[in-house]
């Protein structure tokens, strides 16, 4: 800081400033350079202080309470003893009237706000020097001027006027320099702001793109979540439907199978009708199984068996007839389904329910691909595929072809993605994804041939093991049959209880039925107390108040070695949040009589003689 070094020799300066902060700053600057300072908060207090002790200089703010700076200056100049004390007004000088009012009150100089220490000290030194010169001059008579439409009488002497105008000019030059500097700064700021604006726009574009991608990913995740919620709701509904349907058809299945086996006097027509009923029951049971398997998670380890594809194809054709024949015909559309099945086809190893589901989905997709009708072919074949360096390997092909609209390359590439669909709200995007999942679990290839306008062929290529057999070469095996047993049957459905009792009693067993879980527990305990315990317990899983798990726990607590068969209308796998029952055999409803006989024989084999029954 370039501070003027002239020694003030202890001159007394009076300050009139209502802002304590501004007054302290001004007093600090002056005292740092050798001046004696008296600070007052109003013009009135400043005038009283000046009258008590005449200062060498008065520095006054313009705007103050009680008495402003102009009035203070005028009162000082009107006082004969104080008239020669120079008065410097601190102002923003934002209005030309400030200069006129300064001349009217005979102010000696202006200090422009805001000020720095160098500027302030130079101005004070200038005013003090000029005040000495002015004391030697005679005051004039005054001058009347008109400014801004008003008359003003100026009594300041020439030196005062000159000093005031010079200070005004200096203030104007200072303000102009500040404005120029500010303009240059603003220009640089604008250039920098434009650069930052461009950078910000680029960042906004990038961020907008990122947000668009994030929103799209979020939308897809939300769609997937909605689909999952739909599946969950469908699963809950299907679970109850499956249970109720299985309970309802169980007595029909048991009586039909029993009559076909035992009633030798049936006429051919009656037997054929019973076979039709049995086939219808099987179709209903398979439909319920498909509903259940749709929403239930697949078993990590498939229960594999030999699958007769030709028989399975015939089953699925009948099962889907309403979809490919009846429904289109009601709309005036003709769809023909042609099976072309290879003779002596080898069986494949797998889960027949999963293969059946996959074929059902493929037929449904073929129907949807032919809105104006067409032809669907379901083919099985067993081509020999050349192997590298060895004998040709055999494969079993299952193909579904349609004459529909076909797929372009993009659709064909994405059609196996979960939730990808071209059907709009009608589709879930899960059909082909489920087929692909089945193929992976069975170790078979999934091939899709399709072009727009030429239809689609989906091919499942199953590997054939060396031990695979043809369905025509299969021979019947003897099935075990149990000795006469004391059996406790526990189910809340009285019709199912009665049908189980009748069919099992016809096999020579002694059957006791209980209409609920607690009744079953009581009957089991009572039999133990009378020394006539049951050889085996058959219990339903889902029952009100006391369910099958509680029955199992009670039996296991009483006699851990008593065999237990559990019947369930919810399938053979418990839900994720359910514990696995501690039973010896879990059978799905409707129970098959032969499955039930086999379970009874196998579970009681160590408790008595078992005979072989040929079927």
Mean confidence (pLDDT) of the chain: 79
Percent of the chain past pLDDT 90, that is, above it, reads: 24
Q: Can you tell me the distance from the alpha carbon of 121 to that of 262, in angstroms, rounded to the nearest whole number?
A: 129
pLDDT value for 233 = 67
Would you say domain 479-613 falls under CATH 3.60.15.10?
no
Q: How confident is the model at residue 614 (pLDDT cuts 50, 70, 90)?
A: very low
Q: Which residues of 166-192 are buried (b: 16+ CB within 10 A; e: fewer)?
A: ebbebbeeeeeeeeeeeeeeeeeeeee
pLDDT band of 518, cuts 50, 70, 90: very high
pLDDT of residue 470: 55
Q: Given a cut of 50, is residue 192 above it in pLDDT?
A: yes
Contact 465, 346 (CB under 8 A): no
Nearest-angstrom CA–CA distance, 186 and 200: 20
pLDDT, position 472: 46
pLDDT tens for each residue of 260-277: 877 878 888 888 888 878
pLDDT, mean of residues 382-410: 81
| pLDDT bucket at 552, cuts 50 / 70 / 90 | very high
CA angle, corner 481, sides to 477 and 484, nearest 5? Answer: 175
| pLDDT number for residue 512 | 93
Mean pLDDT value across residues 333-348: 91
Q: What is the pTM of this model?
A: 0.43
552 vs 566: CA distance, rounded Å: 9
Q: Which DSSP helix (H) or strand (E) runs through 510? A: strand 510-514
- Residue-range domain boundaries for the chain: 12-156, 300-473, 479-613
pLDDT for 480: 61
The structure tokens listed for 322 are 């309403």
Class of the domain covering 12-156 = alpha beta
* Fold agreement between 300-473 and 479-613: no
Least confident range from 290-299, 348-357, 479-488, 574-583: namely: 290-299
3-class secondary structure per residue, 399-438: EEEECCCCCCHHHHHHCCCCCCCCCHHHCCCCHHHHHHHH
Beta-carbon contacts of 80 under 8 Å, excluding residues fewer than 6 positions away, are none
pLDDT of 421:
66
What's the pLDDT band for 170 if we cut at 50, 70, 90? low
Q: What's the average model confidence in pLDDT over 471-476?
A: 47
Q: CATH for 300-473, among 3.40.190.10, 3.30.565.10, 3.60.10.10, 3.40.228.10?
A: 3.30.565.10
Looking at residue 81, what is its pLDDT? 92
pLDDT above 50 (res 609): no
Q: Pick from 86, 50, 97, 90: which is nearest to 69 by CA? A: 90
**Position 349 pLDDT exceeds 70:** yes
pLDDT band for position 10 (50/70/90)? Answer: confident
Query: CA quadruple 153, 157, 161, 163: dihedral positive or negative?
Result: negative
pLDDT band at 587 (very low <50, low <70, confident <90, very high): confident
Of 151-155, 204-208, 245-249, 387-391, where does the model show the most confidence?
Answer: 204-208
Q: Considering only CA atoms, which of 462, 346, 493, 467 is closest in space to residue 395?
A: 462
User: 375 vs 57, 314, 539, CA distance in Å?
Assistant: 114, 17, 48
Q: State the pLDDT at residue 375.
A: 94
387 pLDDT above the threshold of 90:
no
**Tens of pLDDT, residues 43-89:** 999 999 999 999 999 999 988 888 999 999 999 999 999 988 999 99
User: What is the pLDDT at residue 145?
Assistant: 47
What confidence score (pLDDT) does residue 381 get? 92
Count Cβ neighbours within 10 Å for each residue of 247-263 and write b for 16 or more, e otherwise: bbbbbbbbbbbbbeeee
What local confidence, expressed as pLDDT, does residue 266 receive? 80
29: Cβ contacts below 8 Å, ≥ 6 apart: 117, 120, 121
Q: Which of 97-106, 169-178, 534-543 has the lowest mean pLDDT?
A: 169-178
Local structure of residue 81 (DSSP, 8 states): T
Q: What is the pLDDT of residues 411-463, one digit of tens each?
A: 777 776 655 566 655 555 566 777 877 788 888 888 888 888 888 999 999 98
Tokens 């060895």 belong to: 390
pLDDT at 594: 84
pLDDT at 297 over 60: no
- In this predicted structure, the answer to whether residue 254 has a pLDDT above a threshold of 50 is yes
Give mean pLDDT, residues 352-359: 85
Over the stretch 273-293, which tens digit does the pLDDT of each residue have? 888 787 777 767 766 665 555
pLDDT score for 147: 44
Of the pLDDT bands very low, low, confident and very high (cuts 50, 70, 90), residue 234 is low
Instruction: Please tell me the distance from the alpha carbon of residue 272 to that of residue 300, in angstroms, as a whole number.
Output: 40
Q: Mean pLDDT, to the nearest integer, of 171-179?
A: 69
Task: Go through 41-69 and write b for each residue having 16 or more CB atoms within 10 A of its CB, e for each that does not.
Answer: bbbbbbbebbeeeebbbbbbbbebeebbb
pLDDT at 90 over 80: yes
Q: How many CA atoms lie within 13 A of 501 on its CB side?
A: 15
pLDDT of residue 611: 36
What the block records as the tokens of 150 is 């008003």
């Amino acid at each position: 800081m370039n501070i003027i070094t002239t020694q003030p020799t202890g001159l007394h300066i009076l300050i009139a400033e209502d802002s304590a902060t501004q007054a302290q700053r001004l007093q600090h600057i002056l005292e740092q350079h050798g001046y004696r300072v008296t600070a007052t908060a109003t013009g009135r207090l400043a005038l009283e202080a000046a009258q008590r002790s005449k200062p060498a200089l008065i520095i006054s703010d313009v705007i103050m309470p009680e008495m402003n700076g102009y009035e203070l200056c005028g009162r000082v100049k009107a006082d004969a003893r104080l008239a020669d004390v120079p008065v410097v007004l601190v102002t923003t000088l934002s209005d030309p009237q400030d200069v006129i009012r300064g001349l009217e009150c005979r102010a000696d100089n202006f200090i422009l706000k805001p000020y720095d220490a160098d500027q302030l000290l130079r101005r004070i030194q200038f005013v003090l020097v000029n005040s000495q010169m002015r004391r030697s001059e005679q005051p004039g008579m005054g001058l009347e001027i008109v400014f801004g439409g008003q008359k003003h009488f100026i009594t300041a002497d020439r030196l005062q006027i000159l000093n005031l105008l010079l200070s005004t000019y200096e203030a104007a030059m200072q303000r102009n320099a500040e404005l120029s500097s500010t303009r240059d700064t603003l220009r640089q700021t604008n250039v920098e702001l434009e650069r930052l604006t461009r950078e910000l726009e680029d960042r906004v574009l990038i961020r907008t793109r990122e947000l668009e991608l994030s929103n799209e990913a979020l939308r897809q995740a939300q769609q997937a979540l909605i689909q999952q919620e739909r599946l969950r709701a469908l699963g809950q509904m299907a679970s109850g439907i499956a249970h109720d349907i299985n309970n309802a058809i169980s007595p029909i299945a048991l009586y039909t199978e029993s009559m076909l086996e035992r009633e030798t006097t049936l006429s051919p027509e009656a037997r054929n009708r019973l076979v039709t009923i049995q086939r219808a029951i099987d179709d209903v049971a398979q439909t319920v199984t498909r509903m259940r398997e749709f929403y239930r998670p697949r078993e990590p380890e498939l229960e594999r068996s030999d699958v007769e594809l030709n028989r399975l194809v015939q089953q699925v054709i009948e099962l889907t007839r309403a979809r490919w024949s009846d429904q289109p015909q009601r709309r005036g559309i003709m769809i023909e389904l042609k099976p072309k099945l290879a003779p002596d086809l080898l069986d494949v190893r797998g889960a027949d329910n999963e293969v059946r589901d996959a074929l059902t989905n493929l037929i449904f997709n073929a129907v949807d691909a032919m809105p104006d009708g067409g032809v669907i072919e379901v083919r099985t074949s067993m081509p020999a595929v050349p192997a590298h360096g060895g004998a040709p390997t055999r494969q079993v092909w299952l193909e579904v072809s349609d004459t529909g609209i076909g797929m372009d390359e993009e659709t064909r590439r994405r059609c196996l993605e979960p939730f990808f669909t071209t059907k709009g709200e009608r589709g879930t995007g899960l059909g082909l994804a489920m087929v692909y999942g089945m193929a992976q679990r069975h170790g078979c290839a999934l091939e899709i041939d399709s072009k727009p306008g030429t239809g689609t062929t989906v091919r499942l290529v199953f590997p054939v093991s060396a031990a695979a057999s043809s369905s025509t070469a299969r021979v019947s095996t003897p099935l075990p049959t149990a000795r006469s047993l004391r059996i406790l049957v526990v189910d809340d459905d009285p019709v199912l209880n009665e049908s189980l009792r009748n069919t099992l009693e016809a096999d020579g067993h002694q059957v006791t039925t209980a209409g609920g879980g607690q009744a079953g527990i009581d009957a089991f305990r009572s039999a133990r107390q009378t020394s006539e315990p049951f050889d085996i317990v058959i219990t339903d899983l889902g029952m009100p108040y006391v369910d099958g798990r509680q029955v199992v726990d009670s039996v296991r607590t009483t006699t851990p070695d008593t065999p237990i068969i559990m019947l369930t209308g919810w399938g053979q796998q418990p839900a994720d949040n359910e514990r696995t029952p501690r039973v010896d055999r879990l059978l799905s409803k409707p129970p098959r009589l032969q499955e039930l006989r086999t379970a009874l024989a196998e579970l009681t084999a160590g408790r008595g003689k078992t005979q072989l029954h040929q079927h």
